[in-house]
Amino acid sequence: MQTSRLAIEGGMPVRTRYWPRFDKGDVDIDEREIQAVERVLRSRLLFRYDTRPIGETEVGRFEQALRDFFGVKHALAVSSGTAAIALSLMAIGVRAGDEVLCSSFAFAADPSAVLLAGGTPVLVDSALGIHMDPEDLEARITERTKAILVVHQRGQAGKIQDILAVSRKHGLHVVEDAVPALGATIGGQYLGTFGTFGAFSCQADKSLNTGEGGFLLTNDTALFERAVLLSGAYETRLKKHCPWDIAVREQTLPLFNFRMDEIRGALGQVQLEKLPARIRALRLNYARTLRLLGNYPEVLVRQSCVPEATLGHYVVFQLQDSDPEEAQWTADALAAEGVDARCFGSLGRPNARSFWNWEFLFPGETHEQIRKRLPATSRMLDLTIDIPLSPSLSANDMMDLERALTKVLDALRQRRALAVVACE
């Protein structure tokens, strides 16, 4: 099989234009967002807590839209996804000395949110698909364990039902970091609505983009009251959210001021209206990419624990019978062709989703010492490659992706064939 010369080896790349992503300006912004922001600026009311009822504020309307969209009792818009996770844990009652069991294939913000809440993150090793291993999860529960933080990483559902079964057995709360999976569902129920709390981000590279921001969801009214107070609803402002007999006293909780402002609330409303169309675009691009990869049985695409619960904003895969060097080469070769591929292993540039780079959790330890704590996760991440699939990808972008994948994977087959011949 003949292939054109790879860009990584001096050939012409498939594309020279950057790969579309939100952080490069490929944001779905049109006249509706511009009008929404102008409406807020002309009102001169930028703070969510003024003389208006909550339902007449931009953030309040955003929260109502979130409740309607996700089908939950309570929604609280906040300053970031990290704040949403931390507030959820604080509302549950996590404090100094408490342990929170956390997915090890996650983002550095997850253990950081546990630290922000005052708890101690305890990472859980992974099972097949780099999902939290329910058996390892249960083995790590101690008398200090207060909650479980499961991350639906890269838009694919973790083993949420198994994790919930463990939590019920041991009387633990579950917080879902659904930041990477905003819009994915199981049986029509959105990820982020299975646990006690679901935390989401509206940061620039998410399905719902207000630049910065986030929100939490819950059906637990008493814990919602606590989260609202902790978020910064001081001096009777809690009553704006909770016009019922409140179970918590304002003076018993600190105020952390993780509030969302009115401009982001206005943007969020418009962005939420666009979310279903974005999800459809993501799934179409993802399905198209899978059809191409189906021609390469050696490519093992990461699977959600429930097949339908895949958002599709990243395609994550490994290569059968691969090693870390080959995985890194493949990611580098795709990147050289103009596609933003990355390997999670330790041979490339540091990745904030690879737990051995969370040195703040393991002071004084080397990366190799940290990796030995979670051997299954380390082995899998060393071989794992991903490619971002923004909903803004055009038909031409998708053709470039197919050309780049075909070019690199065909070349990889040649490399493997030559290696076999050399060994004979």
- Structural domains present in the chain: 31-271 (3.40.640.10), 275-423 (3.90.1150.10)
- If you ran DSSP here, which 8-state letter would residue 219 be given? S
Percent of the chain residues past pLDDT 70, beyond the cut: 98
3-state secondary structure of 109: helix
**Residue 117 pLDDT grade (very low, low, confident, very high; cuts 50, 70, 90):** very high
Q: What is the mean pLDDT of residues 268-297?
A: 96
Pairing of strands 173-177, 185-186: unpaired
Count CB neighbours of 373 within 10 A: 16
pLDDT of residue 3: 59
Yes or no: say if 343 and 336 are a contact pair by the CB < 8 Å rule: no
Q: What is the mean pLDDT of residues 380-388?
A: 97
Q: Residue 1: what pLDDT?
A: 46
As a whole number, mean pLDDT of residues 31-49 equals 97
Q: Decide: 314 and 105 in contact? Cβ < 8 Å.
A: no
For the chain, give the mean pLDDT: 95
Specify the 3-state DSSP secondary structure of 52.
Answer: coil
Q: Over range 223-231, report the average pLDDT.
A: 97
pLDDT category at 27 given cuts 50, 70, 90 is confident
Classify 173 as helix, strand or coil. strand
78 with 216: CB under 8 angstroms? yes
Cα three-residue angle 393-345-181, rounded to 5 degrees:
45
Burial class of residue 112 in the structure, from the number of CB atoms within 10 Å of its CB (0-12 exposed, 13-18 middle, 19+ buried): middle
What is the C-alpha separation between 311 and 324, in angstroms, rounded?
27
Choose among 68, 157, 149, 76: nearest CA to 114: 149
Q: Which helix (H) or strand (E) holds 132?
A: strand 131-132
For residue 424, pLDDT over 80 is answered with: no
Contact 354, 383 (CB under 8 A): no
Query: Phi and psi for 150 in degrees, rounded to 5?
Result: -100, 135
